[in-house]
Amino acid sequence: MRNIGKMLIAICIILFALSDAAYACTGVYVGPAASADGTAFIARSSDNQAVWGNHITITPRVENKPGRTMQVDMKGKVFANIPATTYKYTATPFFSSVMKGEGRPNDATACTNEYGVAMTMAITVFANSAALEADPLKETGLTENTAADLVLCQSRSAREAAKVLASIIDQYGSSECNIALIADQKEVWYMEMYTGYQYAAVKLPADKVSVFGNEFTLEYLSEYEESFTSRNLEKLPEKHGFAVYGKNKELNLFKTYSGKEVAEDYCHMRTWIGHKMLAPSLYKDGYKLDAMYPLCFKPDKKVSLQDVCAILRNRYEGTEYNPDATGRIDMRVIGTDTAMSVHVLQVYLDMPADMACVTWESTGPAIYGVFVPVSNASLSVNEAYGRDQPASEFGHFDAEHYPYYAFKELSTLCVGHDSYKAYGIPVKEYWSRAEKNMAAGMPEVLKKASKMKDSKAAADYITNYCNRMQTQAFEDAKHILNSLIWRQAADSNTMKLGRNPETGELLKTPRVLKPLEIDLDASVYALKP
């Protein structure tokens, strides 16, 4: 593995001086023609070395109230005007205890609104020094902490949302290099934000998929059906002498704004494993830092919700880079115990727009957690999942009342080299069965709700189902956590060698931990209409 010092220095200089961007995120896109059920997926893991809990919120529609603003920058110096009428949206923001408690705006993270628009931002990325010198990031510009809800509260389509995001950058600039994914029932847009005022957005092909770590991968705009860019995207590198041209003398955006200068295993390896998981026939060779993994590619087979969840949990299983099997400590995996919020946004093309989006939210690390549903039609969420830890409780780890802390603790106890088999595998297998049942149940719920003549009754039906799944998941998490703590306490012994069970004689082989037994039935997650 290459030394990641260069990239960490770049992070400190470019990002940490401006914000607390999550710099080990991974993004996923699955087009509806490439998915197993004809839905579209956009997904993201939000990752940072911090104990940052999150919860689920539902912000109601506001009718004809002019004069309102929303925050643009990280420090609360810049505010943008918003329309008099704003739309209902769901979000998965971080707790006030870790955001407001430290003077940061609460990041909406993943949003869906009443018009069937879904957005996640951001995957932090890195531009090269020439680009940043020519067009520096702006400290008072847009940040990932404010973007998603600011955009979706006023957008009726993915296309409009992408344009709104672009207009905010045009006016205020950006404080970070980022990637956004925005979807609706008709199309999905992908936007790379390179510098203070430069960006490019493309409409993603419906029959392809994408997986990427913290890196730019967009090369040529001509490869996409539709696109739009900042006004000076091509003029800026031409003027300052860092433009790189490729096929047909077209500007290569990747080589111009990013390139080898910022390429690191830390990011690139996650892009590689995503490609390898979805298209193993195309990526038979091992990982290479200098390989160009394209933004979009065709998967070997149709991709399911469970496949997307598996990507977000991946720890390089089956490769020489798997830290669990090898004990290596130099791997930046996708499925990490430092994940703060992990989400899959699913868009149904054949449902009414106001019930077309489902956010599958893993509150805390997904590796030993569970994705629970919240619909854009939901009127409320489970009390625990919706509970915001106040700023006054900063530093209070409360697994009894907040799902995030329960799942964070589960991952912390399961992830070790000595414990992932005995503890982690049983936990992961249980949640897998639960998710399979919910993945089968959610479309049945939506289908039934879509046929109801009373819109309020339909929303109540969807809300009750999602809340029941959330409630069950948290109760199960607390039960599993208690069993795991008991099992770990029983297994605690600084003497790592085993003993003969009959004679007590000390053996030369290491002790083998007893597997965790989970006495729960995942069939409770199966829908019975």
Distance CA 373, CA 46 (A): 18
| Distance in angstroms (rounded) separating the CA atoms of residues 45 and 179 | 13
- Classified as helix, coil or strand, 240 is helix
At residue 447, the 3 state secondary structure works out as: helix
CB-side neighbour CA atoms (13 Å) of 397 = 8
The amino acid occupying position 505 is E
Task: Provide the domain limits for residue 36.
Answer: 5-481
Distance CA 76, CA 19 (A): 12
Tens of each residue's pLDDT in the chain, 529 residues:
444 434 433 443 344 334 455 567 999 999 999 999 999 999 999 888 889 999 999 999 999 999 999 999 999 999 999 999 999 999 999 999 988 876 789 899 999 999 999 999 989 999 999 999 999 999 999 999 999 999 999 999 999 999 999 999 999 999 999 999 999 999 999 999 999 999 999 999 999 999 999 999 999 999 999 999 999 999 999 999 999 999 999 999 999 999 988 989 999 999 999 999 999 999 998 999 999 999 999 999 999 999 999 999 999 999 999 999 888 888 899 999 999 999 999 999 999 999 999 999 999 999 999 999 999 999 999 999 999 999 999 999 999 999 999 999 999 999 988 899 999 999 999 999 999 999 999 999 999 999 999 999 999 999 999 999 999 999 999 999 999 999 999 887 777 777 777 777 777 787 778 899 999 999 999 976 6
Is residue 525 in some structural domain? no
Token representation of residue 271:
């892009």
Beta-carbon count within 10 A of 482 CB: 12
Per-residue pLDDT at 359: 98
CATH at 239: 3.60.60.10
Whether the link from the prior residue into 263 is cis, omega within 30° of 0, is no
Q: What is the tens place of the pLDDT at every residue in 220-258? A: 999 999 999 999 999 999 999 999 999 999 999 999 999
CA-CA distances (angstroms) from residue 30 to 125, 187, 299, 482?
Answer: 20, 11, 9, 37
Domain count, the chain: 1
In a domain, 288, yes or no: yes
In a domain, 380, yes or no: yes
Which residue is it, tokens 């008072």?
140
Instruction: Return the percent helix, strand and coil in the chain, to nearest 5.
Output: 35, 20, 45
Q: Give the pLDDT of residue 3.
A: 44
Q: CB of 346 within 8 A of CB of 358?
A: yes
Q: How far is CA 288 from the centre of its chain?
A: 25
The total of other beta-carbon atoms located within 10 Å of residue 468's CB is 16
| pLDDT given at position 31 | 98
504 within a domain of the structure (yes/no): no
User: What is the 8-class DSSP label of residue 385?
Assistant: H
pLDDT tens-place string over residues 471-505: 999 999 999 999 999 999 988 777 777 777 777 77
Q: What is the pLDDT of residue 22?
A: 57
Asked if the structure places residue 501 within a domain, the reply is no
Looking at residue 336, what is its pLDDT? 93
Closest CA relative to residue 47, chosen from 20, 73, 29, 71: 20
Calpha distance 224→181 (Å, rounded): 15
Measured in degrees and rounded to the nearest 5, phi and psi for residue 45 equal -105, 130
pLDDT of residue 242: 98
Asked if residue 83 belongs to a domain, the reply is yes
Query: How far apart are alpha carbons 256 and 85 in whole angstroms?
Result: 40
Residue 17: inside a domain, yes or no? Answer: yes
- For the record, the structure tokens of 51 come out as 């104990």
Q: What is the CA radius of gyration of the chain?
A: 23
Residue 356 domain-assigned (yes or no): yes
